[in-house]
Structure 1
Amino acid sequence: MVKSVAQYQAVINDYLAHHLHADVDESTLFSAMNYSLMAGGKRLRPALTLAVVEMTGGVITTDCLRAACALELLHTYSLIHDDLPAMDNDKLRRGKATNHVKFGAGMATLAGDGLLTLAFQWVSDSGLPSVVRTELTRQLSLAAGPSGMVAGQARDILGENKTLDLPALRYLHRQKTGALIQYAVKAGGILTRQPQPVMDQLARFGEQYGLAFQIYDDILDVTASAAQLGKATHKDAGEHKNTYPGLLGLSGAKEQLVATLEAAHQTQQLLANMTGHSFDGFTQFLAYFKVRDSVEEKH
């Protein structure tokens, strides 16, 4: 039985709260890592992994949960580093002071470094079959590294004060935001040893979900308040960053979001037809996107 997002969130939060301390050997470093890791958030990425495990007929074991939670460690590292003065220089994240404001830029950098490397430790010592651990490690490295998220961050910096066309903007965000989300969906299939045709469609859904996530993020930066999102808004235009509303206008960005969500629904149905399993669990994740003017708490 596929759980609700709230149920997955509770399981993930419980695991993170009780297992980080054992792997950090310095009290201030632990405080900095734990501060950002437990600052809130919807845990969408590991929740997607766990949902795919259950939708493909698997069982969420402790080893499976550890591997899924590793992704939240890595995601949190990326947020800490993204907020640093040398990057976006943000002062607010999830309604709280960013890590470098609380602990200083040096300790924040180390907290991110610690979460990044610990993510791979949690995958590798999870007790899963070696072939599964190897593939998870390989795919996570590709998603997070210099051909994935890090490359997207580099493109984002280099693209400031330039106007990218739509294909270039999609490619940037496929790496910067979409790569980890796509990995989250694929990881569920890796954990249940799905055949390649199913893996291909899981990857397609993950790509579509990641694109929708970024478009929605861009829309909220224009339409929402800092109080609603728990972070500064209207920064993208001021920093001359490439966004969907900036390129297409707000209505054009919403049209792109609707089209992307429709494509994701089609992939969802195709997965159900291919596997004989219900993929209705994806519906609750797609409901995260409020296409109209309403706004939810971000991340």
Structure 2
Amino acid sequence: MRSFDEYKDFINSHLTDLIDVAGPEASVLGEAMRYSLEVGGKRLRPVLLLAACEFAGGDINEALPYALSLEYIHTYSLIHDDLPAMDNDDLRRGKPTNHKVYGEAMAILAGDGLLSTAAETVSEEPLRYHEDPQKMYSHLKAAHEIISRAGAHGMIAGQTADILGERMVPTPELIRFIELHKTADLITAPVRAGLMIAGAEDETLDRFTSYAIDIGVAFQILDDILDIEGDPALLGKTLGKDAEQGKCNYAYVHGMPAAKEELHRLTSEAKEALSVYGDDAAFFTALADSLETRNN
């Protein structure tokens, strides 16, 4: 398998390949879509998809359109999150947010454009394999995995709970719901989709699903921790937004020591899920370890 940076470079070299608009009259839409894609990012989700696919013996070139679609979905969600009606952020990755550059209306349309491009791509890709029904079915499952976990039963449900939670007393159940859906669903989707494209067995899917859920929840708890004690220069955004908006932040509710303990428990549990693969799963266990030392 390749390194994280090798996967990331591969994704970045194709990042805007699928961005296309109807004509010069809509050129600013394409510009706004590309702006938020190109300001940087870890590319964690598409990297996970490619790595999972390659782990199971698949071809990352086949998986690339799905990986790009996931990054488009993630980016659209950030554009909309940053809007005044939601999180009201002026900075994203150290740069002005989309609506600060293009205005609120165009930012909404840029997000819509990224989401619809992703949906168009993942619905079209399986049709390329119509002469191989088994492969086409594997690709259809991957497409459904991505779209369903990004929608009203997944990420959007989590975002809804996150917004409504600002006016509610935070409970462990509400915090868990937000962790699972707002964040973990879009970590689980790429792992499962990558394995599906490669035709992985059910046992592998089950083990990696457990891993991905743990990593996804850990990622949200890390984000909660960094909102309190992170470095704004490294994060590229303002600290303390969760407290300002009354968000259901794990560290605020349970305390910083408990948050760090839970982060450690989740990363350990994630690694244990893949322990049967030994060094073959080193890419994924190293990623789990990195969450305990990340500062952005």
- Aligned with 1:287: secondary structure? helix
- Aligned with 1:32: secondary structure? helix
Moved more, 64-73 or 124-133: 124-133
CA contact (8 A) 1:71 1:119 kept: yes
Tell me how far apart the structure 1 counterparts of residues 112 and 237 of structure 2 sit (CA, whole Å): 23
Tell me how far apart the structure 2 counterparts of residues 258 and 186 of structure 1 sit (CA, whole Å): 23
Tell me how far apart the structure 2 counterparts of residues 148 and 213 of structure 1 sit (CA, whole Å): 16
The one-letter amino acid paired with 1:150 is: I
Tell me how far apart the structure 2 counterparts of residues 54 and 24 of structure 1 sit (CA, whole Å): 35
- Aligned with 1:159: secondary structure? helix
Tell me how far apart the structure 2 counterparts of residues 79 and 21 of structure 1 sit (CA, whole Å): 17
Q: State the shift of 1:290 in Å.
A: 3.1
CA contact (8 A) 1:92 1:232 kept: yes
- Aligned with 1:278: secondary structure? helix
The one-letter amino acid paired with 2:106 is: M
The one-letter amino acid paired with 2:40 is: G
Q: State the shift of 1:250 in Å.
A: 0.8
CA contact (8 A) 1:41 1:94 kept: yes
Tell me whether 1:5 sits opposite 2:11 in the alignment.
no
Tell me whether 1:64 sits opposite 2:63 in the alignment.
yes
The one-letter amino acid paired with 2:53 is: V
Tell me how far apart the structure 2 counterparts of residues 177 and 164 of structure 1 sit (CA, whole Å): 17
Alignment of 1:148-163 (within 5 A): 148-163=154-169
Deviations 1:248-299 (A, max 9, x none): 11111000100001100101214x17xxx811110232233134xxx53x3x
Tell me how far apart the structure 2 counterparts of residues 231 and 22 of structure 1 sit (CA, whole Å): 29
Tell me how far apart the structure 2 counterparts of residues 261 and 41 of structure 1 sit (CA, whole Å): 22
CA contact (8 A) 1:32 1:111 kept: yes
Tell me how far apart the structure 2 counterparts of residues 225 and 45 of structure 1 sit (CA, whole Å): 23
Match of 2:235 among 214, 229, 234: 229
Match of 2:114 in 1: 115
CA contact (8 A) 2:45 2:187 kept: yes
Q: State the shift of 1:24 in Å.
A: 5.8
Match of 2:53 in 1: 53
- Aligned with 1:114: secondary structure? helix
When normalised by structure 2's length, the TM-score is 0.92
The one-letter amino acid paired with 2:104 is: A
Deviations 1:26-77 (A, max 9, x none): 210011000001110110001011111111222222x321121110011100
- Aligned with 1:160: secondary structure? helix
Match of 2:137 in 1: 131
Moved more, 20-29 or 230-239: 20-29
Match of 2:34 in 1: 34
Moved more, 249-258 or 155-164: 155-164
- Aligned with 2:255: secondary structure? helix
Q: State the shift of 1:23 in Å.
A: 5.3
Match of 1:196 among 202, 209, 226: 202
Match of 1:175 in 2: 181
Match of 1:86 in 2: 85
Tell me how far apart the structure 1 counterparts of residues 37 and 22 of structure 2 sit (CA, whole Å): 13
Tell me whether 1:210 sits opposite 2:209 in the alignment.
no
CA contact (8 A) 2:83 2:104 kept: yes
Q: State the shift of 1:22 in Å.
A: 4.0
The one-letter amino acid paired with 1:146 is: A
CA contact (8 A) 2:166 2:246 kept: yes
The one-letter amino acid paired with 1:287 is: D
Indicate how the Cα distance of structure 1 residues 231 and 85 shifts in structure 2: closer, same or farther if over 3 A, else same.
Answer: same
CA contact (8 A) 1:222 1:233 kept: yes
- Aligned with 2:287: secondary structure? helix
CA contact (8 A) 1:20 1:34 kept: no
Q: State the shift of 1:109 in Å.
A: 0.3
The one-letter amino acid paired with 1:20 is: L
Identity fraction in percent: 40
Match of 2:250 in 1: 244
Tell me whether 1:185 sits opposite 2:185 in the alignment.
no
The one-letter amino acid paired with 2:51 is: A
Match of 1:75 in 2: 74
CA contact (8 A) 2:56 2:199 kept: no
